[in-house]
Amino acid sequence: PQERWMELIYSAAAASPADLKPHILRLAELDNVPRKKKQFINFTANSLNLRGRMSMTVEKMWDHLSSLREKQQEQKKAEENQQKKTETPVADDAHEQVKGSSEKSEAENQSPITDDGPPLLSPETKGLTSKTIKRAVKKVLKGAPKRTMKFKVLRSSLKEKLDLDKKQKKHLKQVLKSVLQVNNNKFMVDGKLVSLR
């Protein structure tokens, strides 16, 4: 979501009114621009030094960006609905079998997931959260020489540290890559080496 929000800010600069364009361009250069209104207004007012009389400019920026985000979400929903319509219909018997099996699997996946962060990727990785992976990676890298490890060695260390089951081990590579990508301010990936900043 944060990446999509930053992309929206980059693209909004081209379609923004003339009075907002320089401010949105400056905002696009910053990292981690908040997505909620109150935090956005505070962040923008402080980062771009738009206080006092210029506070209306910050409000206009929020209105412009939130309207673009709403349009983007509507387009995405319309595309998803269009995709659903174009899918080929399944025979009634097969549809009922698939429906019954999906209800069973949903019931199985309702097991408690730790709420120390959003669950990653799929139900097979239940129990793994971005927060637990991030903490474990930090601990492992802090103990490594020069706070650097090869990706493969880091992954095997995490398998041991987190005591994962088979399904979780299969998905650890994807999950770890996404955590490292999202938290690129804390971790640096250089080819096959991962280091702590």
What one-character-per-residue DSSP string does 81-125 give? HHHHHHSPPPPHHHHHHHHHHHHHHHHHTTS----SSPBPSSGGG
Supply 48's token pair. 């771009």
How far apart are alpha carbons 120 and 129 in whole angstroms? 6
pLDDT of residue 115: 34
pLDDT of residue 165: 77
Rounded to the nearest 5 degrees, what angle is found at the Cα of 68, between the Cα atoms of 64 and 74? 145
pLDDT of residue 127: 61
pTM: 0.41
List the chain pLDDT tens, one digit each, 197 residues.
Answer: 678 888 888 888 777 888 888 888 888 888 788 888 898 888 888 888 887 777 788 888 888 888 888 888 898 888 888 888 777 555 444 444 444 444 444 434 433 333 344 444 444 445 667 778 888 888 888 888 888 989 888 888 888 888 877 777 777 777 788 888 877 788 888 888 888 88
Over the range 2-24, which residues count as b (16 or more CB within 10 Å of their CB) and which as e? eeeebebbeebbeebeeebeebb
Q: If you search the block for the tokens 């399904």, which residue do you land on?
A: 167
The secondary structure element, H or E, covering residue 189 is strand 187-190
